[in-house]
Structure 1
């Protein structure tokens, strides 16, 4: 009897063992595939950082060399774009457990300084001697940073170092056999900390101080990692049966505000969805769907309808699209909160729409989270007609409205906004609705809506 049972069970157990082996092999292959993809993403982000720093150095050199104000504005705009891109590259590296704050802060200040200078009317307010010295210092320091990053990059390529090893070592506090990456980046951050000769001006200092106060005033109770995951999944509206894995990472103190990052893997797609949730209040501040976007099929109006619906379904009411841009089969819409008939520009969100299928591939609401609040708006002390007289008569005004904007120090100003054209360029000019003073002149890069 025993031999009969054994004879029946042996093939079954053998098949079971083979099946278990195949399942284990498949699981291991899938795990390796995820690790390889993560490593490739880290490698790409680091090489992009080197590329953007190299271009940033070149562009800063141009700002020093050019004589024409017509050339200076686009060059400063490129500095802003490249500094922002480099800052974004740093954010994609596994450095949340290693201080790299000084470098991120430096890049953020470079972006703010170049942007504020670029949107200024340089015919009326040309660069000061102090600003020229700041650009020269930024050029020297960007060259220094680029040189140090190139050393790390060379070592990574020569020694075939892996970023996944860095992430594991930082997370477990294990000692690595080769600390080239960590040590190299620590040298970069320490060097940046010593850049005492850079004067970004009182405006940037006031702006940073104002942002710190805004971060401290974020409303709501702290959320746990598990609560952050639930909020991220609810925001994406993915169903449980669609989700393969949702991993939460604590971003620590590496950013202005504390947050959790939720990395979501779907069953039907190898492309992850990444969501950042603020620890205080639990609001989603950022979302990116990394799906590859195919050939364009949608127009801007249809894309905008998708963006409108997306915001409405997630509780963003009274939002008005104010501008859009297009690149790489994406439509990027910027929305501002509207209080009655007044546009509130500090309360903005950005929505990226994929122009192949119309799904939302990106969302950013940091400005909204930091600024949105109940406001008691004053009554204007001058009329629209009186404010219009303060505007350059050469501007062909197409739109006029009341708006809340931020000045160069980050302070809110109740203003009249005049939008129009001058020669071949588009501008927004803001006149203080209480004093009649000109607050800001912005040259518009993205088309208005």
Structure 2
């Protein structure tokens, strides 16, 4: 009898474990499906906006009416910015697309500058028209390649989630492995590489005197260069792991993008398969990024609890006087943005993002590149305008519901002291930034964009 009950208990245990496994598998497939749908939507937006960009550039090149040309250029700029936004949502971080990205940036600057001329403008010069024609040809080529890739994805049932996995695998490869074995590849990756290769074959237009110079180079992180052993120790300390407890780490790559960093791969302890990655700057030894590869279960904590967990994490790692500025909840996690606050002024360049799992409140992600580059104690001066004077620069149709002083960056990484006004128009909330010295409107943001809430 006792043996029979033992077999019954064993059978029940097997059934329970099986049910748990099925549930975890279903949750994982559900998350993958949501992620894939987001990637597919972002890619379709890129295809649509690049195709529309080519069409608007063609209109601008053909039109003999300057107001019509100006409208086409303004529409082209809008499509360019949307294409850049969509491209930024795709898992292509390890795929070389610098020429394509530079092209979109140049088109955005070119079309914006020309579209901002007055309605009585004298039209395009011969040089400007030549640049416009060359950009149109590039946009047409890019649209054709992206459309062809979209067809291959649809016919071949290819998935962006596989591109994401390959991208993560490439990022985790040692340099010698990438040389000998080659980075993982699939038809989507090959299609994007063909696009990039084709874009490099077009001549680069001479924009000197037509559009503003590109952004200045990012400032360097201060400090001496560190060794790979130093990087491992810094990453292990940041992740809370100890060699004495069985954890181990190794530098698996050097990330060449600014600021240059070592990528450290860590395994918590013997017998555990989950891993943690962190990027540590070569100069100064600052942790720029961290990601913990662990499954996420059902949500059991509130967003407020997630914010508290993120605050505690930052405080324990030496990030003081941090103020919540944004929050986005998705796929079982909460990504919470914080900016440094100095004497009541929000310093937006000094921001970090902490990713908190909503199943148990653990921190499984961190992004702090901007903070490590820009953070310092600033000699903040008194604003030249009062809040009431700055408020006069707002659209009178807006209803102001809050305000504060802040520091933001312009396109050349120059800091500007501004008044941030939180305003309502109909049902939407906006953040409007007015220069505290000149009264000029510097920037406008919508407070809620695709699930991202600016606090």
| TM-score tier (shorter) | 0.5 to 0.7
Q: How does 1:137-286 map to 2 (within 5 A)?
A: 137-138=138-139, 140-141=141-142, 143-144=144-145, 147=148, 171=177, 173-174=179-180, 189-196=196-203, 206=213, 209-210=215-216, 212-214=217-219, 217-240=220-243, 243=246, 245-253=248-256, 255-267=257-269, 269-286=272-289
1:146 deviation in Å? 7.1
Q: Which residue of 2 aligns with 1:22?
A: none
Work out the CA distance in 2 between the residues paired with 1:201 and 1:152: 39
In 2 relative to 1, CA 106–423 (structure 1 residues): closer, same or farther, beyond 3 Å?
same
The 2-side partners of 1:230 and 1:271 are apart by 19
Tell me: CA distance 1:362–1:79, structure 2 relative to 1, closer, same or farther (3 Å).
farther
1:56 equivalent to 2:57? Answer no
Query: Deviations for 1:427-448, whole angstroms, at most 9, x for unmatched residues?
Result: 1111111111111112222323
Deviations 1:325-384 (A, max 9, x none): 111111111111111111111111111111111011211011112222232122211110
Contact 2:298 2:332 in 1 (8 A): yes
> The residue matched to 1:447 in structure 2 has which SS?
strand
SS at match of 2:437: coil
Change (3 A) 1:350 1:235: same
Deviates more, 1:348-357 or 1:104-113: 104-113
1:378 to 375, 378, 381: 381
- 1 CA distance for matches of 2:313 and 2:210? 35
Contact 2:84–2:101 (Cα < 8 Å) also in 1? no
Tell me which residue corresponds to 1:306: 309
1:90 positional shift: 3.0
- 1:448 maps to what in 2? 454
Alpha-carbon distance in structure 1 between the residues aligned to 2:368 and 2:99: 20
Is there any run of 5+ residues in structure 1 with no aligned partner, and where? 1-44, 94-99
> How far apart, CA to CA, are the structure 2 residues paired with 1:202 and 1:349?
37
1:339 aligns with 2:350: no
Distance (Å, rounded) in 2 between the aligned partners of 1:165 and 1:361: 21
CA distance in 1, matches of 2:47, 2:315: 42
- Give the whole-Å Cα distance in 1 for the aligned partners of 2:367 and 2:294: 17
Judge conservation of contact 1:353–1:361 (CA < 8 Å) in 2. yes
Structure 1 residue 222 displacement after superposition = 0.7
Between the aligned partners of 1:379 and 1:174, the Cα distance in structure 2 is 59
* One of 84, 87, 94 as aligned partner of 1:83: 87
Asked if 1 retains the 8 angstrom alpha-carbon contact of 2:433 and 2:444, the reply is: yes
- Alignment of structure 1 residues 394-409 onto 2, 5 Å: 394-409=397-412
Does 1:328 pair with 2:331? yes
Q: What TM-score results when the alignment is normalised by the length of structure 1?
A: 0.68
Structure 2 counterparts to residues 60-79 of structure 1, below 5 A: 60-61=50-51, 79=83
CA, structure 1 residues 209+392, in 2 after alignment: closer, same or farther (shift >3 Å)? closer
Contact 1:400 1:416 in 2 (8 A): yes
CA offset at residue 187 of structure 1?
Answer: 5.6
C-alpha distance in structure 1 between counterparts of 2:193 and 2:289, whole Å: 27
TM-score by length of 2: 0.67
Cα distance, 1:307 vs structure 2: 0.4
Count of equivalent residues:
375
Find the aligned partners of 1:222 and 1:153 in 2 and give their Cα distance. 47
Find the counterpart in structure 1 of residue 64 from structure 2: none
**Structure 2 regions of 5+ residues with no counterpart?**
1-34, 57-70, 159-164
Q: Which moved more, 1:50-59 or 1:334-343?
A: 50-59
Shift in CA distance, 149/435, structure 1 to aligned 2, threshold 3 Å: same
Residues 56-113 of structure 1: per-residue CA shift (max 9 Å, x gap): 2234335677999xx9999777634431133x4333x7xxxxxx3xx14644774898
